[in-house]
Amino acid sequence: MTTNRKAHALLALAIGCFTWLVSGCGSGGGGTPPPPPSFTISVSPGSVLVAQGATSVPVQLSVIAVNGFQGAVSVSLQGLPAGVTASPAFPVSIGAGSSQSATLTVGNTVARGNYSLTFAGSSGALSGSAPLLLTASGAAVVGPAQDFKKQVIYQIVTDRFFNGDTSNDNPPQSPGMFDASKTNWQMYWGGDLAGIQQQMAYLAGLGITAIWISPPVDNIDVLANLGGTSYAPYHGYWARDMQQIEEHFGDVNNTWAAFDNLVTAAHENGIRVIVDFAANDSNPDDGGEFGALLNKGQAFASYQNDAAPPNNLFHHNPTIMDFNDPFQLQYYTLVDLADLNQENAQVDSYLKSAVAQFMQHGADGFRLDALKHVTWGWEYSLANAAYTNGPTFLYGEWFQGINDPTYHDSVEFSNRSGIALLDFPLASAMRDVFANNGDFHEIDNTITQEDNDFDSPNDLVTFVDSHDIPRLLSVNNNQNRVNEALALQLACRGIPVVLYGDEQYLHNDTNGGNDPYNRVWMSSFSTSTTAYKLVNQMANLRQANPALAYGTSQQRWINSDVYILERQFFDDIVLIAMNKSETAAYNISGLFTALSAGSYSDYLNGLMGGLSIQVSAGTGGNNPVTAFNLPPHTVSVWQSSAAAASPELGSLGPRLAQAGLIATAAGDGFGSSPGTLLVGTTAATVKSWSDSSVTFVVPSVPPGNYNITVQASSGATSNPLPFAVLTGNEIPVTFTVDNVPLVAGASVYLTGNVVELGANVQSAGSAVGPLLAVPGTSSSWFIDASVPAGTQIQFTLFQVLQDGSIVPEGASYSYGVPTAGVGSVSVSW
Ligand code: NOJ
């Protein structure tokens, strides 16, 4: 007991004695009077986690008689939110010494979150109560999702979150990598998949709808001694076997049980599971297991004893030095990580079967590690292989700044592959603004540029902190700024990721908070921090108001400290205003909004000092807001959502697929009875239909680019969104062209008679390229492209000169793409 708690206990004892003495005196001094009867109420369990549309486990209410209390207690249930019903209906009468079992049913519209309920009992003048915490989680997930725009993702470094199973802390096959004291930041600390599962109520109460877990695959079993320091692969990025689960995260037999259990528990509570998947490399080539890989426990690939090209499973190139050189990026070694050769058929199959296996075990999506360093064309085929397995969502890590020379490659990559990107440019702008007190114009300009460049900016995956950069609080120890950054990110276009612990304001500033000090232990699970409540409210708004998922972005008012951003999807509108100054208030005059005339209170209920606004009628969607004062470090959110009169199409996922694959159209106002989904003018077979989502089978139409529309059963038709129908299952093929008479400064491109190669359009924007120089040659060029398996294709090459003019090769080549695996073809210009 601490000194403080001891003092309290003594005081309570003294007060108790005093009460007894007073009543004893009043009784006339004739001996000790019997203490008065009373009762207490107990509730077990004290907290319940219930999904929307589900009923809780039975809660046992007991009336415990004290000092001979007899009679009945009338127990009411206080704090029950609208949409939750109790059975039996309260109040109920419970006799002394008796129990009553009750359940709570959570309706489908109850917002995710924590609700504090009280069972209050009374009997005559006596009363007693007991609390019950109800956590409402999302409705159980049915089937995989392809549209993540309404989701909020929570990123977890599994080892640093929660230790749910101590039996895997120091497993026999990889002993000595665990540090119970949590002082050696390069060791395992005990967090595991069971631990995440045990914190499901915390996650559900936070309102997030997906978790992104660090790579759960089996990692190297021995410490890697690199430069004199020993490193354990607690982060999961040093795979030894991508087909099994790491024993520190699951069980000592490397089975899938803990992963399966986590997925089941998450899905029951409306939470999707995204797996971090590293296809670029295996593990360090200079320590530990020296890059070697196993396949379900059997030897698979040896970096140290690899075959000669073209049968090599790894690239054996130097470390990347020039991060602006596309060849180095894809074919050189990232730091010291043994670089896999995805163009090798065995490696291709190994990686794709690992993804397939995760999908079979219920993974809903993948965060593709080090995307920029994996062969780009191969990744298109990986995405297609994943979509061919079934519906899923993919986003990847293209670490960059908006002014990097490869920024335009990243745009083209994402637009063509349909793989969403983590939004590094916006993260960098957000960090400049919130941690370094930069000007809001930087964020605004970034949003404008990316919205212009990316075909689907609402699919960009936004973040402020990550496991690779110092936490915001390590850069600027100001919790207001964390709250403001989170509020903006959660309102902004793109799918937000919240890094575990940010909602608890955790940070360790050793070495500036750089890796590994940003991978803090999750030492607190408080549900009452401002950030926890903020994430919950904004995550619920993302579900309720389609403007956040599908809307456009418009800056409505800005200076270096103030940003007012409007999101709009047809008649659904969210307006967020923030002032990041710690001291200055600003008078906001001349503000216009698409919100219609009326008064709007702060959706956050003043959580961050928000206020109400008054809007009057204007014209053209520009309605004037009565001038108001925006106090320092405040955030206000105003919103309105209208029932859609006709279908409003906000999302297609994926945005490219071949006939026969399942895709999802999402939006609002599709109607509850099935209508028609049109790919061009062809009706697709509909697999499921709801007011906000239609899943359909891509029809057998000629491959090419189409508009998709949703037609309600009433006949009303939605806005169109573009969709590419691919020719077939995609496999990677390496195209090489020798003897190119290159015009100085020109680039070589590839096109062909299939949509995958740009449908014979000889322009840099449509074709595949530029090709990369074959190392050691002066006139040979190559590229790995994703093309339809089992198809006879015609292809051709051309040069784009510095002035933009085209020099075609003239010849056309025919190539029979293999029906599976990988391919390669060489021609001479
Ligand atoms: C990027 C990851 O986010 C980082 O943490 C990891 O070390 C590297 N990729 C290599 O896998």
pLDDT confidence bin for 19, thresholds 50/70/90: very low
Q: Which two tokens stand for residue 186?
A: 């390069």
Residue 467 Cα, ligand 1 centroid: separation in angstroms?
Answer: 9
Return the amino acid letter for 580: K
| Cα gap 512→27, rounded to integer Å | 69
pLDDT at 111 over 60: yes
pLDDT at 750 over 60: yes
Sign of the dihedral defined by the CA atoms of residues 221, 224, 230, 232, in that order: negative
Instruction: Round the CA-based radius of gyration of the chain to a whole number and report it.
Output: 30
pLDDT in tens, 461-496: 999 999 999 999 999 999 999 999 999 999 999 999
Residue 281 Cα, ligand 1 centroid: separation in angstroms?
Answer: 10
pLDDT in tens, 253-281: 999 999 999 999 999 999 999 999 999 99
Mean pLDDT across the chain, nearest whole number?
A: 95
| Cα gap 739→781, rounded to integer Å | 9
**Strands of the sheet with 210-213, listed across from one edge:** 420-421, 393-396, 365-368, 272-277, 210-213, 153-156, 495-499, 461-462
Q: Region 288-305: what's the mean pLDDT?
A: 98
Closest residue to atom 4 of ligand 1, CA basis: 468
| Cα gap 666→654, rounded to integer Å | 11
For residue 267, what pLDDT is reported? Answer: 98
User: Quick one: which atom of ligand 1 is closest to the CA of 334?
Assistant: 10
For residue 79, what pLDDT is reported? Answer: 97
Closest residue to atom 5 of ligand 1, CA basis: 468
Q: Region 142-151: what's the mean pLDDT?
A: 89
Residue 461 Cα, ligand 1 centroid: separation in angstroms?
Answer: 17
pLDDT in tens, 41-83: 999 999 999 999 999 999 999 999 999 999 999 999 999 999 9
pLDDT in tens, 581-593: 999 999 999 999 9
Q: Region 742-765: what's the mean pLDDT?
A: 96
Q: Region 718-743: what's the mean pLDDT?
A: 97
Closest residue to atom 6 of ligand 1, CA basis: 237
| Cα gap 344→821, rounded to integer Å | 9
Closest residue to atom 11 of ligand 1, CA basis: 237
pLDDT in tens, 24-33: 333 444 578 8
The preferred substitution site among 219, 234, 237 for testing ligand 1, maximizing ligand atoms within 8 Å of CB, is 237
pLDDT at 15 over 80: no
Catalytic residue annotation: 369, 397
pLDDT at 2 over 60: no
Cα–Cα distances (Å) from 489 to 122, 156, 283, 427, 496, in that order, read 47, 18, 33, 9, 6
pLDDT confidence bin for 230, thresholds 50/70/90: very high
Tokens 């119970």 belong to residue: 180
User: Quick one: which atom of ligand 1 is closest to the CA of 399?
Assistant: 1
pLDDT confidence bin for 152, thresholds 50/70/90: very high
User: Quick one: which atom of ligand 1 is closest to the CA of 281?
Assistant: 11
| Cα gap 146→729, rounded to integer Å | 19
User: Quick one: which atom of ligand 1 is closest to the CA of 280?
Assistant: 11
Residue 238 Cα, ligand 1 centroid: separation in angstroms?
Answer: 9
- In whole angstroms, what separates CA 447 from the centre of its chain? 19
Task: Kindly tell me the burial class for residue 30, based on how many C-beta atoms sit within 10 Å of its own C-beta (0-12, 13-18, 19 or more).
Answer: exposed
Residue 437 Cα, ligand 1 centroid: separation in angstroms?
Answer: 28
Closest residue to atom 9 of ligand 1, CA basis: 370
List the one residue out of 391, 407, 408, 390 whose CA is nearest residue 399: 407
pLDDT confidence bin for 8, thresholds 50/70/90: very low
For residue 48, what pLDDT is reported? Answer: 98
Closest residue to atom 2 of ligand 1, CA basis: 369
Residue 804 Cα, ligand 1 centroid: separation in angstroms?
Answer: 37
Cα–Cα distances (Å) from 58 to 43, 63, 99, 422, 741, in that order, read 10, 16, 12, 43, 78
Residue 214 Cα, ligand 1 centroid: separation in angstroms?
Answer: 10
Q: Which two tokens stand for residue 300?
A: 């698979």
Return the amino acid letter for 446: T
Residue 369 Cα, ligand 1 centroid: separation in angstroms?
Answer: 6
pLDDT confidence bin for 781, thresholds 50/70/90: very high
Residue 554 Cα, ligand 1 centroid: separation in angstroms?
Answer: 34
pLDDT at 4 over 50: no
User: Quick one: which atom of ligand 1 is closest to the CA of 337?
Assistant: 10
pLDDT in tens, 675-713: 999 999 999 999 999 999 999 999 999 999 999 999 999
The preferred substitution site among 155, 277, 319, 369 for testing ligand 1, maximizing ligand atoms within 8 Å of CB, is 369
User: Quick one: which atom of ligand 1 is closest to the CA of 278?
Assistant: 11
DSSP category for residue 169: S
The preferred substitution site among 276, 320, 467, 468 for testing ligand 1, maximizing ligand atoms within 8 Å of CB, is 468
| Cα gap 205→64, rounded to integer Å | 31
pLDDT at 143 over 90: no
pLDDT confidence bin for 810, thresholds 50/70/90: confident
Which residues have CB under 6 Å of ligand 1?
A: 235, 237, 278, 369-370, 397, 467-468
Residue 327 Cα, ligand 1 centroid: separation in angstroms?
Answer: 20
HEC string of 453-489? Answer: HCCCHHHCEECCCCCCCCCHHHHCCCHHHHHHHHHHH
User: Quick one: which atom of ligand 1 is closest to the CA of 335?
Assistant: 10
For residue 628, what pLDDT is reported? Answer: 98
User: Quick one: which atom of ligand 1 is closest to the CA of 468?
Assistant: 5
The model carries a pTM of 0.95
| Cα gap 281→314, rounded to integer Å | 8
For residue 142, what pLDDT is reported? Answer: 83
List the one residue out of 277, 164, 308, 267 whose CA is nearest residue 213: 277
Contacts of 43 (CB under 8 A, 6+ apart): 59, 60, 61, 62, 119, 130, 131, 132
Q: Region 803-813: what's the mean pLDDT?
A: 95
User: Quick one: which atom of ligand 1 is closest to the CA of 466?
Assistant: 3
| Cα gap 457→674, rounded to integer Å | 29
Higher pLDDT, 9 or 31: 31
Do residues 490 and 482 touch, judged by C-beta distance below 8 A? no
Residue 280 Cα, ligand 1 centroid: separation in angstroms?
Answer: 10
pLDDT at 20 over 80: no
The DSSP bridge pattern shows strands 99-106 and 298-301 to be unpaired
List the one residue out of 456, 468, 470 whose CA is nearest residue 507: 470
For residue 637, what pLDDT is reported? Answer: 99
pLDDT at 16 over 60: no
List the one residue out of 219, 217, 157 whose CA is nearest residue 189: 157
**Percent of the chain residues past pLDDT 90, beyond the cut:** 95
pLDDT confidence bin for 617, thresholds 50/70/90: very high
Closest residue to atom 7 of ligand 1, CA basis: 237
For residue 30, what pLDDT is reported? Answer: 55
For residue 273, what pLDDT is reported? Answer: 98
- Phi, psi (deg, nearest 5) at residue 198: -70, -20
What one-character-per-residue DSSP string does 272-327 give? Answer: EEEEEE--SEEEETTSTTTT-EEETTEEEE-STTPPPTTS-SEE--PBP--TT-HH
Q: Which two tokens stand for residue 675?
A: 């209508």
Contacts of 302 (CB under 8 A, 6+ apart): 291, 292, 313
Residue 714 Cα, ligand 1 centroid: separation in angstroms?
Answer: 50
